Amino acid sequence: MKKINVVAAVLRNEKNEILCALRSPTMSMPNLWEFPGGKIEQGELPEEALIREIKEELDCKIQVFDLIEEAEHKYPSVIVRLLTYNAKIVSDSPKAKEHAKLEWKTLDALRSLKWAPADIPTVEQILEGF
């Protein structure tokens, strides 16, 4: 089975809300929430991939900090290894270029979203007060 390495950013605003991205109807796993990010390219460090992916997906620049969670999820056709990092926006405002929408959510509101399975361990870490 194919295995892909993916990175995602947990971005917080000044109110400690977290940026959540709704997968569009044309993406795999449509209408599920995720942390923004994408695939690590050959020869890229995870942090480099995350900076590139956020620029491509959200049109903003970030600074990457510590690793929050490393999770692996087996989907029907692929195994996804997801590395999520704390990060902060350093310039520009995020725009939904690929996702159906972006929303800043309070920690309590994270529980009410229908998450992509690979992102659930990160949600649990955040809610445990990582």
Domain count, the chain: 1
**pLDDT at residue 129 in the model:** 81
DSSP 30: T
CATH number for the domain harbouring residue 34: 3.90.79.10
Range of the domain at 98: 2-127
Which stretches does DSSP call E strand in 12-98?
A: 18-22, 33-34, 37-39, 61-74, 78-91
Predicted TM-score (pTM) of the model is 0.94
Query: Which tokens go with 30?
Result: 């449509």
**What is the arrangement of strands in the sheet containing 18-22, beginning at the earlier edge strand?**
33-34, 18-22, 101-105
pLDDT tens by residue, the chain, 130 residues: 999 999 999 999 999 999 999 999 998 889 999 999 999 999 999 999 999 999 999 999 999 999 999 999 999 999 999 999 999 999 999 999 999 999 999 999 999 999 999 999 999 999 998 5
Read off φ and ψ for residue 78, nearest 5 degrees: -155, 150
For 55, other C-beta atoms within 10 Å of its C-beta total 14
